[in-house]
């Protein structure tokens, strides 16, 4: 079903609201992610594992944001036609959406290894290895998108309303690209929060830093779920039922726009995550240094 015939997505008022919303996301996202890149690349002289992950995350968010004007132009100008501009912008958009998801998972795994397995973490964690992980993730995500394109699958929403391009079976790529990272993120977050709660607090300052660190883990998990889960639940429902009604098309349209907000929320979290985990590591490291410098203390090192 062509989503241009659906009452919600074809409404002029809804289109104006959508354009204003995406314009706001574009301005805020470019400013915040651009600032984050400037800080990471120009102001911080020591590269850590988390810095490398966050730089890649900021790049992915920026690339996704930069496709928004082209997708809007293609949608308004060419409707459901499969133009090169439409395919290219949609491909870059999807690649960077799932790259962002994968990088958030990688940061969670890095945090989990550092906190739960600090001894092994010294051998598993390094800036070079973080760079290698990012390179592998880029290759996997881009390869999956190329395969989707070869199979002529484009999930509904933007300009791909041509029924001949609808191949619901390959939506599995989207679902695996989300549900697997979600499972890993939930597991790692719970493990790290549990570990933080079990660490004895030497003083009030350490207890407060640990509490803030745990709060940021929960905040990151909630942001991830709120932004991405609704969209993939709708995709799951469409795959399971085989339906492509206006209700599903409209819901996909809305939940896809909600997922775009993650680009701004990631950037807002950069500073707070870095600061809180740096404080928690520093405070927890002081009493433990007598043993073995606390094996990087909390070793969350999101800074």
Domain span holding position 272:
3-295
300 occurs within a structural domain: no
Confidence at residue 181, expressed as pLDDT on a 0 to 100 scale: 94
What tokens appear for 188 in the block?
């790692």
Residue 295 pLDDT grade (very low, low, confident, very high; cuts 50, 70, 90) = very low
Confidence at residue 56, expressed as pLDDT on a 0 to 100 scale: 93
Lowest mean pLDDT of 98-107, 111-120, 232-241, 287-296, name the range.
287-296
Q: Which residue has the higher pLDDT, 5 or 267?
A: 267
168 occurs within a structural domain: yes
What tokens appear for 133 in the block?
């992980």
Give the mean pLDDT of the chain.
77
Which residues, in sequence order, are CB contacts of 192 under 8 Å at separation 6+?
A: 108, 111, 112, 115, 116, 214, 217, 300
Lowest mean pLDDT of 31-40, 56-65, 218-227, name the range.
31-40
- CA distance linking residue 25 with residue 303, whole number of Å: 26
- pLDDT higher than 50, residue 85: yes
- pLDDT higher than 50, residue 297: no
Q: Find the Cα–Cα–Cα–Cα dihedral 135, 141, 144, 149, rounded to 10°.
A: -110
106 occurs within a structural domain: yes
Confidence at residue 301, expressed as pLDDT on a 0 to 100 scale: 35
CATH number of the CATH domain containing 142: 1.20.1070.10
Q: Which residue has the higher pLDDT, 279 or 133?
A: 133
- pLDDT higher than 90, residue 232: yes
Confidence at residue 61, expressed as pLDDT on a 0 to 100 scale: 92
| Mean pLDDT value across residues 71-91 | 70
Structural domain count of the chain: 1
303 occurs within a structural domain: no
- CA distance linking residue 64 with residue 92, whole number of Å: 7
Residue 10 pLDDT grade (very low, low, confident, very high; cuts 50, 70, 90) = low
Q: Kindly give the residue spans of alpha helices, DSSP state H, lying in the chain.
A: 12-38, 49-78, 84-116, 118-124, 127-150, 172-198, 204-241, 246-260, 262-292
pTM for this entry = 0.81
* Maximum average pLDDT range among 138-147, 164-173, 286-295: 138-147
73 occurs within a structural domain: yes
- CA distance linking residue 26 with residue 65, whole number of Å: 6
2 Rama sector, left if φ>0, alpha if ψ -120 to 50, beta otherwise: beta
What tokens appear for 204 in the block?
């009030």
302 occurs within a structural domain: no
Residue 82 and residue 165 in contact, taking contact as beta carbons nearer than 8 Å: yes
Confidence at residue 79, expressed as pLDDT on a 0 to 100 scale: 58
- CA distance linking residue 208 with residue 269, whole number of Å: 19
Cα dihedral 153, 156, 160, 165 sign: positive
The total number of residues shown for the chain amounts to 303
Q: Per residue in 141-154, is it b (16+ CB within 10 Å) or e — as a string? A: bbebbeebbeeebb
198 occurs within a structural domain: yes
What tokens appear for 144 in the block?
């999956």
**Percentage with pLDDT > 70 across the chain:** 73
| Mean pLDDT value across residues 122-126 | 79
- pLDDT higher than 70, residue 163: no
């Amino acid at each position: 079903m062509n989503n241009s015939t659906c009452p919600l997505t074809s409404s002029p008022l809804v289109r104006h609201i959508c354009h204003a919303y995406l314009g706001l996301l574009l301005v805020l996202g470019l400013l915040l992610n651009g600032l984050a890149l400037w800080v990471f690349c120009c102001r911080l002289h020591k590269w850590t594992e988390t810095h490398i992950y966050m730089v890649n995350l900021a790049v992915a968010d920026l690339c996704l944001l930069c496709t928004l004007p082209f997708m809007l132009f293609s949608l308004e100008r060419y409707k459901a036609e499969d133009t090169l501009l439409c395919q290219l912008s949609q491909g870059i958009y999807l690649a960077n959406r799932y790259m962002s998801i994968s990088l958030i998972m990688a940061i969670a795994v890095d945090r989990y290894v550092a906190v739960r397995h600090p001894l092994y973490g010294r051998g598993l964690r390094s800036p070079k290895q973080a760079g290698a992980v990012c390179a592998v993730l880029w290759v996997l995500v881009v390869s999956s998108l190329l395969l989707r394109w070869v199979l002529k699958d484009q999930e509904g929403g933007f300009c791909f309303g041509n029924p001949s391009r609808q191949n619901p079976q390959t939506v599995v790529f989207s679902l695996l690209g989300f549900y697997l990272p979600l499972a890993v993120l939930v597991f790692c977050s719970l493990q790290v929060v549990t570990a933080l709660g079990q660490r004895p607090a030497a003083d009030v300052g350490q207890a407060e830093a640990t509490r803030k660190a745990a709060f940021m883990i929960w905040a990151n998990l909630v942001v991830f779920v709120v932004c991405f889960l609704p969209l993939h639940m709708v995709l799951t429902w469409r795959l399971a039922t085989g339906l492509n009604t206006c209700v599903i098309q409209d819901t996909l349209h809305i939940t896809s726009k909600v997922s775009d907000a993650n680009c701004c929320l990631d950037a807002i979290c950069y500073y707070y995550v870095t600061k809180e985990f740096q404080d928690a590591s520093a405070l927890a490291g002081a009493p433990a240094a007598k043993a073995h410098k606390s094996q990087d203390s909390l070793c969350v090192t999101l800074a």
